[in-house]
Every structure is written in C-alpha cells, then in structure tokens.
Amino acid sequence: MLRIHDTRARQVESIKPARALRMYTCGPTVHRRAHVGNLRSYLLSDLIRRVLERQRVRVVVCQNITDVGHLAESGEDKVHLGARAEGRSTAELARDYEAAFKADSAALNLRPAEHTPRASETIGEMVELIAKLIEREHAYTTPDGAVFFAARSFPGYGEISGNRLDTLKPAHGLVTADPRKRFHADWALWRPAEGELTWDTPWGRGFPGWHVECSAMALTFLGERIDLHTGGADLRFPHHENERAESDAAAGHEVVEHWVHGEHLIFDGRKMAKSTGNLVRLSDVADAGLDPLAVRLALLEHRYRHQMNLTWDGLRAADQTLRRWRSRVAAWSESPSAPMATSYVERVEAAFDDDLDTPAALRVLLDLEGDESVAPGAKFESFLHLDQIFGLDLSIEIGKSPAALPPGAAELLQQRSRAQEAQDWPAADRLRAELTALGVRITDAPEGQTWI
C-alpha cells in the first residue's frame, strides 16, 4: 500500500482509495516552455499513478492547462505578456506552448491525464462556481464588476501552508491591499477587464482569478470527492490554500483527502531563472546529446519532497547509467529465461510504497545489476518488470544490431575518446552531439564508449 506525505496532515499517510483513485495535478501556465524544474512536479504525479496501477488501482487524473488568469507580479496576465514579447496572439502562443509541454511530457514518459481541460474553455463552470459562492455568502461583488472570496468565511484557512488569516498582512506573498476588499486577505474570483481573453458574466465583463480556475476544473472533471491533489511546493500558498477554501465552501465538506507537494529544483546551486542564464529545458538536454530520460533518472535519484540540486555532471552520469542498463538488458535478453529475482523486486516496490523513496529503489536496482548470483535471464525479467514503475525505456535496445559507421564518424569517435581521457567534458558533449546528428548513438560504460 502506498504511503505518502500529506502536506496538510504533516505526516506520511496511507492511500486507501475506496474506488478508482481521483487525482488532480495543477498543470502548466502555457506562456513559455517548461523547464526541468517545472517538469519535476509532473514526475511526482506520474510516479504516484504508476505505483498505484501496479497495485491494480484504477487512477483517473485531471491536469489542467492554464491559458488565462495567471498574473505576473506586474499584475498582467502571463500569457498576454508572453504573446506581446514574442509578437504573437495569445491563442497562438498558448497552443504552441501547450503542444511543447505535451511533447516534453511524452519524452519523459509521463502518462497523459484522462482530462486536460483548458481554463479558457471552462469559463462557464467557473461562473457557476462563483455564483454558488456568492449565494452561500463566501464571496461578494464590487460596483466595478469584481468578485472577491471572503477569506474569513472559511475557518479552516491556512491548514495547508500554516499561513493563518490573523497573521497575514498586506504584501505577505500575494496578499495585497485593495480598497475594494472587505478584508485584506480576500482574493479575486473575477476581475473586470475588456479586450482579449475576457468574457461576459452577471457581474460584468472580465476574466477569472487563477485559483478559482483549478477549483472549477477539479470539481467539474473529478467531482466533489478527490483522493489526491499534487503540485509543486510553491503552490501551497496562496494557490492551494485558496483553491481548498473555494472548493470546500462550495461543496460544504472537505473535497481533497490528501495534498502532496514536490520540493523545488535548483540548477548548479542556483534557482533557475532567465535572468541568471541557467534556465534548462528538456530541449537543452537533448541538444547536449543526452537522452531526455536521463532527466527522469536524475530526478529519481532524489526524493520528491527534498530540494534537489541538478547539474550537468549529474545529467551526464545519469545518461551513462541509462545507456549502460539498456545495453545490459539487451544482452540479458539473449540468455535463457528465468523467474524474476523476487527479493529484489519486492525491495524496489517497498521503497516506492515508502513515500516514493526513489533513491532507495535505484540502489536496489544497482545491487541487482551487480549480483553475479542472479541469472541474466532473471535480471532481464526483473528489470523489465520494474521499468513499468521507473519508466526509463530499458528495453529500447533489444533487437537492435550495429550498423556501419557513416563517413566521418570513426574520426569523431576517436576524438571523443581522447576528450574523455583528458576529462574535457564540454568537448566530449560537443562530439556526442555531432555524432548524434550523424545518426550514431553513444553509450558510455566503464569499459569505454560503444555505439549503435
């Protein structure tokens, strides 16, 4: 049985779905291409799903697409900002980055959600939810057509993040002073506006608040009983705190049973940001000649709720391990069939059940790889069975045979071997990229580089 850390309960709890498990995952704001830190949050929900499905639990996932209403610190819609910066329409920008996100998700072997609603296409559901909150006196309108949630109408506010209303002051996070508010910690459910991406409502023309979007989409596609809600640690406050208040106030009971959050990822010791030049996207990893699934493996080397420092050296090492495992699985596939190494399989599955202890699971896999007492056929069966959870495409090399090197590749291989001996990793990466462009895939192993 999966046990996982519940942010609201502040302890590890068992997941006991009484029916098909329903999980909501806060999806991307499609104003730019996701970076590897963003993608870490989606690996969390993918691992939860894979573990539960191995336990024969049916999982239904809703992961939204935010294409309106998520404001930047300047107060302007992020999609509007991105569209203006790139000289494109908001619709064109949003659809392109939505497609890019789905391509990145597929490259990381993240299983697609059953429901992927766009915020811009569920405005009617949001308006209905806001109307219900007004009717139940959890929200109020203003003369200019804004609607605010009355924070003090929800006594349980702060149970996720620990930010209680009596301690929140203006300028605390996204809590801002606004003369239209009855209380400074109230937040907008609907904002009056004209122009692109606005809609007519009983209160006037405008667009929805970011938090109410997820409340409406979660309630619409998963219902009023949701087993798990996941997201990055940065969403605990105010997004998930406000979302919980809206959903529970509308439903009249606790909607989400478990809140699960993944911690931040930094790169080379710094927060990833465009201004610092260390914003790493999955396409950057591929351009460096590394398999995108090396990112998945590198992320698995750290527990989801611990901050992680990802580096290029770490990605290169993960890429080498991934290629070595694929090569060995292909070799083991030629051996006589044998039953799985049950003790190793059970240890890996137990590590995943224990609050997704992926580092422990990987250590067991390494132990199995090096255990000479286990028959190659048993290793083959065990690695493929466990790859249903790890999601690393370990069988990808099976059945492939070496092909003749294209012109110029042999010289590049020699240059790369010399670069590795000199520990000139930038040159080795550059040469790997050149070889990849020629159609030659490199695998680095302790005995040296091999190619296919």
- The CA distance from 4 to 354, in Å, is 7
Q: Is 243 annotated as a binding residue?
A: yes
Q: Is 62 annotated as a binding residue?
A: no
User: What is the full DSSP assignment across 71-129?
Assistant: B-TTSSBHHHHHHHHHTS-HHHHHHHHHHHHHHHHHHTTPPPPSB--BGGG-HHHHHHH
Would you say 112 and 105 are in contact if contact means Cβ atoms under 8 Å apart? yes
- The CA distance from 295 to 310, in Å, is 9
Phi and psi torsions of 63, nearest 5°: -130, 110
- The count of other CB atoms within 10 Å of the CB of residue 74 is 8
Q: Is 274 annotated as a binding residue?
A: yes
Would you say 197 and 77 are in contact if contact means Cβ atoms under 8 Å apart? yes
Would you say 249 and 153 are in contact if contact means Cβ atoms under 8 Å apart? yes
Residues belonging to the chain: 452
**Residue 376 CB-density burial (10 A; 0-12 exposed, 13-18 middle, 19+ buried):** middle
Report helix, strand or coil for 49: helix
- The CA distance from 42 to 231, in Å, is 8
- The CA distance from 7 to 399, in Å, is 45
Longest CA pairwise span in the chain (Å): 77
- The CA distance from 334 to 380, in Å, is 9
Bridge partners of 140, per DSSP, are: 148
- The CA distance from 156 to 151, in Å, is 10
Instruction: Scan for tokens 């998700």, then name that residue.
Output: 105
Numbered residues of the known binding site for ATP: 274
Numbered residues of the known binding site for Zn(2+): 26, 214, 239, 243
Numbered residues of the known binding site: 26, 214, 239, 243, 274
